[in-house]
Structure 1
Amino acid sequence: MRTLKKIGALLLVLVTLLIIIIGIFAYTLKPDYSGEKKLVGLQEVVNVYYDDYGIPHIYGENEKDAFRTLGYVHAQDRLWQMELLRRIASGGLSEVFGKDLIGTDKFFLSLGIADASKITASKIDVNDEGVILAKAYLDGINQFINEGPTPVEFYLTGIDKREFVLEDIYNTIGYMAFSFAMAHKTDPLLTSINANLGPQYLKDLHVGSTVDTEWIKNYNPAPKDTIQNNLTAAVIKALSVLDIPLFEGSNSWVISPEKTKNGKVIFANDPHIGFSQPSVWFEAHVETPTYSKYGYHIAGIPFPLLGHNRKLAYGLTMFENDDVDFYYEQNNPANENQYLSKNGYVDYEIVHKTIHVKDADDVQFSYKRSDHGPILNGIADQVQGDRRIAMSWVYTEMENKVIDALYGLSHSNNLAEFKKSLPKIHAPGLNIMYGDNEGNVAWFATAQLYKIPDSVNTKLIYEVNKGLSLERELLDFNENPKAINPPSNFVYSANNQPDSIAGMLYPGYYLPENRGKRIVNLLEPKDDWDISAASDMITDVISSVEPDIVSNLAKYLDVSLLSENGLKAIDSLKMWSGDYNLSSIEATVYNRWIYYLLENTFEDELDEELFNQFLSTHFMKRLIAPLSKDENSVWWDNVNTTNVSENIKDIVNLSFMEAIASLEKDFGNNVNQWRWERVHSIEHGHPIGQIAALRSFFNVGPFPIHGSREVINNLAFAYDDTGFYKTTSGPSTRRVIDFSDVENSISILPTGQSGNPLSKHYRDQAEMYVNGEFRKMMMNEEEIKKSKEILTFKPKD
């Protein structure tokens, strides 16, 4: 017994020592929010004041020192995120996660982002002020890499840290440009529908724009100053293998002084991006004698994509324009390395790449390029077949000046200076929103647009030697959609269809009018807006369209077929305001009903695989409202039944009864238990959090959450047959800036400022976000300098 006690005591000591060692090790991996550091290349002392949410307020004597410091503090909270984002476009994920990511790496390498980044970086002017500041930012990152603690993810994946270079900045921007990817999800699918089912089926999908939806109106006054379908599967697989941010949509509105209580502009913006952990934005407030900005940074990019100071504010949403085209290529029957051009058969360019794979040999692969772009067949396993498909993408085909643009936007002092940088953004298409302390409000659609003949359908893969010519007639930026100080006294963007330009409605992958209509309905009648009302609006969860859809469908229901619960549910739905609060029963019933309506309408023609691809498209969301009143759609008939032709009434009734039965199965016969909070949840996933044992350490959540897709508080999800809606994207920040009191403007992040799971700021905003709460974006110097956590950087000899 005495021996056992000794062994037990020894084991206790060993366990205690192990816990202490682990604790000390973990402590050394935390970010430093106070103390003193020496920074190579620094000219003067820089002080970083951390507020209660871990946001750095950087005070330097010059911009170069400030951006060098920004790089360091950004890296100590987000180095793993920086590493992951720069690897996507350059085909470096397999080196971290192993052979399962080889297909994803092949796909992204074939897009040519990394090659375009290399060309751009080789041509930059090293004396350009933006480049100088970008390199200072990278120097700060690299000093942290060399001297700072290694984030725990590097230990878990076994990869080494390596320095950042300018190419990495462009690779991250390129990934951001591609992550929208709606053309890849849409065009091949529509081509397949057109080829296999016929043009009537395509027409009844209501893919094009219509005159009865809410458009973003142009206003340009006189200036005040002088693969077929399997390609879709390949893209979905490539983008879904990891929890990484995908750019989806967004809201923004800017209210003129004439409509605000205090007579100053109010600016609101909430970019909708795929949820991940860490969240996409890193907030940093930088002050020097020549630069002042409270900015939102993407990991590895020196200049903020969203920002404000006392003079102006800017933000963005996705424009959703079509900047990708697909072309069939015809191989030479006598030589598979040639394709038919307008000048006869010519050689494909053969591109060779190497992929490093964790715990395995390198993978060598090659792909072909035509004059249209990379041939996608064979790059991903899903893209097979005899017909070769090439991809043409504006982003990789034109000179890249995006960094110049971001530098210019972040350093602008007024509307005239701000506008000068906008034409430099050729892709991705962005809606840039603007407001200032002089009372100006503006919206600009930024992208390189071009003339598209009426005869060209950009939503289909072009046949050989047809479609849009590569010698395109480019539009001048002045022709892009825009509104500057319009008579409405507000501007907005919600990814919906912009008004016509250059004699055409510009083709794109626009989202339905739902959010745009709600925004306009709220803004138009009210002339006393303040920050409280704007913050209520940015968390609004009422659909302006879905009650009308219910009304359209309900008239086809045969109440004699409904159960007691079915009758209760439809009676409640008829009174529904479209509110997506946690206790809503109607929201749960509506979404179950719509899923079964879509499944019963489309799956028989498309089959299960194509139907699931259909559910991932934007046009599916736009389709629901017009479909609900389209009695004559060819899609209503179930092609799998014989001797009967189903109509809208048949499908509506079948779908509603299936929805009720599924809810009874999941939650019982008590309708009051069918609350939205039981089916709609949010969890912020970390790539390593996909390992079950590490999920609770790296992931944040899950939480039940109000809101839904295509309400202003756009907490979106994918439909599937489970009937449970795990939120995949939504507001990546909510920010409201009131120029009557800039220092008390407000914001929130979905999880926390830090990407380091050992930091106290890893998840400290998550519940506030779920509850629709805000915190101050501090800009008052006296208040900031009362911080208890100060990290001082001094020049290193």
Structure 2
Amino acid sequence: MLTLFRWLLRIATALVVLSVVVVVGVYYFLSRSLPDYDATWQVRGVSGTVEIARNTWAVPHVFGPTDADVFFGLGFAHAQDRLWQMTILRRTVQGRLSEVFGERTVRTDELMRRLDLYTLAQESVAVQDNDTLNALDAYARGVNAWINLVNERALGRGAPEYFLFPGEIGLWQPADSIAIVKLMAVQLSGHLENEVRRARLSALIGEERTVDLMPGDPSAGMAALPDFASLFPGLTDTQLAMAPSVPGEAPGEALSPFNSIEMAGASNAWAAGVLRSANGGTLLANDPHLPFAAPSIWYLARLDLTSGAVTGGTIPGIPVVLVGRSEALGWGLTTAYLDDQDLFLEELNPENPQEYRTPDGWTAFETRRSIITVADSDPVTITLRWSENGPILPGTHYSLAAVTPPGHVAALSWTALAGDDTSLSAAIGLMRAQNVDEAIATMERYVAPAQNLTLIDREHIAMQMIGRMPRRDAASPTRGMMPAPGADPAARWDGFFPYESNPRFVDPETGLLGNTNNKPLDRPFPLHVSFNWGDTVRIQRWVRLMRQRSVHTRESFIEAQLDTVSQAARLLLPLVGAELWFQGEPAQPGTSESQRQLALQLLADWNGEMSEHLPEPLIYAAWMRELQFRLIRDELGPSVDMFTHMEPEFLERVFRNTDGAGVWCDVVQSAVVETCVDIARTAMDAALLDLTRTYGPAIESWRWGDAHQATHDHPVLGDVPILRHFVNIRQSTSGGDHTLMRGRTAGGPPGTREPFLNVHGAGYRGVYDMADPEASVFIISTGESGHPLSRHYDDLGVLWRRGEYIPMTLDPDLARAGGVGITRLEPRQ
């Protein structure tokens, strides 16, 4: 017995020692790719010594003898911290994810190949100005310098992910940076999906009820929708009611850049002139909204250029401070919702399907074969086709099969499909601009994705919509709202409007400018900008906050940026619950009626603040979500999945019975005529039952933050057991779909697990004060490093969750003082 015990002890000891050795060995190899921020490297491609001084949070401040050397340093820093992220972004836009990830990304690769964005990026290199070409070339050399050092010094392959997903790290090219700009256009565009959705709805439920769900722009006569069914009589009701297919890969596929329309972009930006600023200088606050990931798409940096230092948010792979400030200028971006996409249904020649109808007769498609290499599987060969209107997209994406009649294929016209894209030249010029007028002038070269650019200098404020605006015929049969016949000359684009036609606001009398993706002005079609806007309620909250003060400060702008009061909740609850508050005698404890009474009591005393610590936001969100599904599912059937989030405008129209919208409350299939009060009551009971199953019966103990966790998940390893606990960053957060501190929920059809996860929001926040530029503050939602073993992987995320910021000085001496080290890049002879 003693011998057996000794052997068991020896075996257990050996297993423990072996486990320790394995863990230490794995940690050693993975930690080899952690960059040393306090090192000197001999590199080729610089004219003199480049210094990358990193502050306490590892934010790089790049100094060099020439601007080219500074861009070299930025490329080096990006590659040190985010090499894996950069290569994945490049593979995505190239349509080469499947070489690494196999069959699960074939659909994404196929669609990216059909859009052909990387080829267009390569063509666009030649049209950049010399300043931009020099920056692109120097940046690429900086990235490649780090890749070469990784290979020469065996620095853990550059990132730990490369141990799990083998593959060569190709050298960076100037076209790669332009391609990533085009990839951002993919993430921020949603008009194609809106056209498909509107066409299906109008054919299924009629134009009057379509306006309820997609109210759009009332000033442009949205009630007079075109009759889509009459344009394409070959479509059947069964085809139109088909369940929607997912645009990219599969639901929740983190590597797909094709967001649904609900996630296609949002942002906040507002500015105050000198007369509305307490300290006599202009102010600007900006927080662009994008899908959350670990690491964040944003990366803070400071560049010491000859035209003046610039600091703010960059995207790894792009040699530009996209949002931030210089010594003379501050700038921020919000999605403009410009209608820059149109879908055309091309009629095929029945005698020769390789031809399609044009205004001048049958014409052959431009075709090219493309081979998608797939890891551990056979390659996939596809035929790329282009018509005069744009690339041909398959019916399996964006639900196109539901609106494409027999004998037709769908083509996409889109401003991002340009081989003369000078957007990056415009962005480089913006960093060098010395005042608002110069900034507006240089952005004429910007193409896509369309943005509202908010600007401040020391005396002026402005907002300029940037991006090419398609010129449509006033006689267009669909006005860009629905798919149009490709052969109709009135439906086709006739070039683009001049830059002067883009909306512009400079030094308004009120002294304040703001945009929350709301409609900024009324203009008739075709100068209307868009029929779809991203917001109608956040702007109301912003106006209220701005009017509370005659003058503003950096702190008041931060307060507005972090505001979590839902104007939608304040609007909807009195409407929906008007006849439910305090009805009847107190119910018996433990019954569904008593639970409803308690929930209604809590909501009655609630001010609409979507605080993570309260139960009321969870009750409200679950109730409104269940209510909308109950209102629309009998009319829409399988197509109900088109609407995955609560739409405040729709519920308001229904409960105010606007244009007869109260008819939605009656369940079509039942003999009884249900009222809106009936539906509101049953929706509340169903929502509470579902919440009880998840969070227990004690309503007072429910927390919005338990459901509304910010999901900064690793796009590749985030679903891998065990590993996900090390690479995913989950944080309880306040805010919601319709608050200024926006935390867009995951949504989804009925039965979706965790529909209230916070998946899309302000990954970057910045507030700039031109009266005291050094008081400007910044933050991103994770950390600078993309390495899970780095302490800078999530250190800024802790501050971000608490609503805190960090300073980023333009003073060279302060930038070099302290911090975590200075990297020196010296010329190699």
TM over 0.5: yes
TM alignment of 1:172-187, pairs within 5 A: 172-187=180-195
CA–CA separation in structure 2 for the residues paired with 1:238 and 1:112: 21
Correspondence for 1:614 among 638, 643, 647: 643
CA–CA separation in structure 1 for the residues paired with 2:355 and 2:662: 41
Q: Describe the SS at the equivalent of 1:689.
A: coil
Q: CA deviation at 1:23?
A: 3.5
Give the letter for the 1:147 counterpart: L
Match of 2:48 in 1: 44
Q: CA deviation at 1:295?
A: 3.1
Matched, 1:31 2:59: no
Answer whether contact 1:44 1:61 (CA < 8 A) is retained: yes
Matched, 1:409 2:423: no
Match of 1:219 in 2: none
Match of 1:105 in 2: 109
Q: 1:54-87 CA deviation, whole Å, 9 max, x = no partner?
A: 1011121211111111111110101111101111
Answer whether contact 1:269 1:315 (CA < 8 A) is retained: yes
For structure 1, which segment, 77-86 or 182-191, has the greater mean C-alpha deviation from structure 2 after superposition?
182-191
Q: CA deviation at 1:230?
A: 6.6
Residues 440 and 778 of structure 1: is their aligned pair in 2 closer, same or farther, counting only changes over 3 Å?
Answer: same
CA–CA separation in structure 2 for the residues paired with 1:471 and 1:686: 40
Give the letter for the 1:77 counterpart: D
Percent sequence identity over aligned pairs: 24
TM alignment of 1:40-119, pairs within 5 A: 40-119=44-123
Q: CA deviation at 1:690?
A: 2.0
Residues 239 and 6 of structure 1: is their aligned pair in 2 closer, same or farther, counting only changes over 3 Å?
Answer: closer
Correspondence for 2:628 among 598, 621, 629: 598
Correspondence for 1:393 among 401, 414, 418: 414
Answer whether contact 2:196 2:399 (CA < 8 A) is retained: no
Q: CA deviation at 1:794?
A: 0.9
Residues 787 and 597 of structure 1: is their aligned pair in 2 closer, same or farther, counting only changes over 3 Å?
Answer: same
Correspondence for 2:394 among 361, 374, 377: 377
Q: 1:286-310 CA deviation, whole Å, 9 max, x = no partner?
A: 1144441113211211112112122
CA–CA separation in structure 1 for the residues paired with 2:419 and 2:119: 13
Q: Describe the SS at the equivalent of 1:458.
A: coil
CA–CA separation in structure 2 for the residues paired with 1:604 and 1:6: 68
Residues 196 and 289 of structure 1: is their aligned pair in 2 closer, same or farther, counting only changes over 3 Å?
Answer: closer
Matched, 1:713 2:725: no
Q: CA deviation at 1:107?
A: 1.0
Give the letter for the 2:640 counterpart: F
Gap runs ≥5 in structure 2: 221-238
CA–CA separation in structure 2 for the residues paired with 1:173 and 1:661: 46
CA–CA separation in structure 2 for the residues paired with 1:190 and 1:496: 20
Match of 1:207 in 2: 215
Match of 2:356 in 1: 339
State TM-score, norm by structure 2. Answer: 0.88
Residues 622 and 356 of structure 1: is their aligned pair in 2 closer, same or farther, counting only changes over 3 Å?
Answer: farther
Correspondence for 1:772 among 803, 807, 812: 803
Matched, 1:569 2:596: no
Match of 1:690 in 2: 719
Q: CA deviation at 1:25?
A: 2.2
Match of 2:174 in 1: 166
Correspondence for 1:555 among 538, 561, 578: 578
Match of 2:135 in 1: 133
Answer whether contact 1:685 1:700 (CA < 8 A) is retained: yes
Correspondence for 1:586 among 616, 626, 629: 616
Give the letter for the 1:235 counterpart: P
CA–CA separation in structure 1 for the residues paired with 2:396 and 2:664: 37
Q: CA deviation at 1:278?
A: 1.0
CA–CA separation in structure 2 for the residues paired with 1:12 and 1:764: 32
Q: 1:15-53 CA deviation, whole Å, 9 max, x = no partner?
A: 554444334323321012101111212111122211110
Q: CA deviation at 1:741?
A: 2.0
Residues 153 and 668 of structure 1: is their aligned pair in 2 closer, same or farther, counting only changes over 3 Å?
Answer: closer
Q: 1:107-128 CA deviation, whole Å, 9 max, x = no partner?
A: 111122122112223x346x70
Match of 1:545 in 2: 568
Correspondence for 1:787 among 812, 818, 823: 818
CA–CA separation in structure 2 for the residues paired with 1:451 and 1:27: 54
Match of 1:224 in 2: none
Task: Tell me how many residue pairs correspond in the alignment.
Answer: 776
Residues 196 and 748 of structure 1: is their aligned pair in 2 closer, same or farther, counting only changes over 3 Å?
Answer: same
Match of 1:220 in 2: none
Match of 1:217 in 2: none
CA–CA separation in structure 2 for the residues paired with 1:467 and 1:523: 47
Give the letter for the 1:690 counterpart: D
Answer whether contact 1:582 1:705 (CA < 8 A) is retained: yes
Q: Describe the SS at the equivalent of 2:370.
A: strand
Correspondence for 2:518 among 491, 496, 499: 496
Answer whether contact 1:113 1:174 (CA < 8 A) is retained: yes
Q: CA deviation at 1:402?
A: 0.6
CA–CA separation in structure 2 for the residues paired with 1:9 and 1:677: 43
Correspondence for 2:467 among 447, 461, 464: 447
TM alignment of 1:8-27, pairs within 5 A: 14-27=18-31
CA RMSD of aligned residues (A): 2.6
Residues 665 and 359 of structure 1: is their aligned pair in 2 closer, same or farther, counting only changes over 3 Å?
Answer: closer
Answer whether contact 1:321 1:429 (CA < 8 A) is retained: yes
Q: CA deviation at 1:254?
A: 0.9
Correspondence for 1:275 among 280, 292, 295: 292
Residues 518 and 8 of structure 1: is their aligned pair in 2 closer, same or farther, counting only changes over 3 Å?
Answer: closer
For structure 1, which segment, 228-237 or 282-291, has the greater mean C-alpha deviation from structure 2 after superposition?
228-237
Matched, 1:194 2:202: yes
CA–CA separation in structure 2 for the residues paired with 1:742 and 1:278: 28
Q: Describe the SS at the equivalent of 1:693.
A: coil
Give the letter for the 2:520 counterpart: P
Match of 1:741 in 2: 772
Match of 2:653 in 1: 626
Answer whether contact 1:201 1:634 (CA < 8 A) is retained: no
Residues 232 and 306 of structure 1: is their aligned pair in 2 closer, same or farther, counting only changes over 3 Å?
Answer: farther
Q: CA deviation at 1:696?
A: 1.4
Q: Describe the SS at the equivalent of 1:716.
A: strand
Give the letter for the 1:785 counterpart: R
CA–CA separation in structure 1 for the residues paired with 2:248 and 2:283: 38
Answer whether contact 2:107 2:248 (CA < 8 A) is retained: no
CA–CA separation in structure 2 for the residues paired with 1:264 and 1:531: 10
Correspondence for 1:458 among 475, 480, 486: 480
Q: Describe the SS at the equivalent of 2:567.
A: coil
Gap runs ≥5 in structure 1: 213-226
Give the letter for the 1:750 counterpart: S
CA–CA separation in structure 1 for the residues paired with 2:278 and 2:677: 50
CA–CA separation in structure 2 for the residues paired with 1:236 and 1:606: 23
Q: 1:158-181 CA deviation, whole Å, 9 max, x = no partner?
A: 111111112211221111011123
CA–CA separation in structure 1 for the residues paired with 2:650 and 2:91: 36
Residues 583 and 767 of structure 1: is their aligned pair in 2 closer, same or farther, counting only changes over 3 Å?
Answer: same
Q: CA deviation at 1:675?
A: 2.7
CA–CA separation in structure 2 for the residues paired with 1:140 and 1:635: 62
Q: CA deviation at 1:404?
A: 0.8
Correspondence for 1:534 among 539, 557, 579: 557
Matched, 1:699 2:725: no
CA–CA separation in structure 2 for the residues paired with 1:592 and 1:7: 54
Give the letter for the 1:187 counterpart: E
Q: Describe the SS at the equivalent of 1:295.
A: strand
Match of 2:231 in 1: none
Give the letter for the 1:258 counterpart: L
Q: CA deviation at 1:766?
A: 1.8
For structure 1, which segment, 198-207 or 784-793, has the greater mean C-alpha deviation from structure 2 after superposition?
198-207
Residues 663 and 22 of structure 1: is their aligned pair in 2 closer, same or farther, counting only changes over 3 Å?
Answer: closer
Give the letter for the 1:651 counterpart: I
For structure 1, which segment, 405-414 or 26-35, has the greater mean C-alpha deviation from structure 2 after superposition?
26-35
Q: CA deviation at 1:157?
A: 0.8
State TM-score, norm by structure 1. Answer: 0.92
Residues 86 and 286 of structure 1: is their aligned pair in 2 closer, same or farther, counting only changes over 3 Å?
Answer: same
CA–CA separation in structure 2 for the residues paired with 1:564 and 1:621: 27
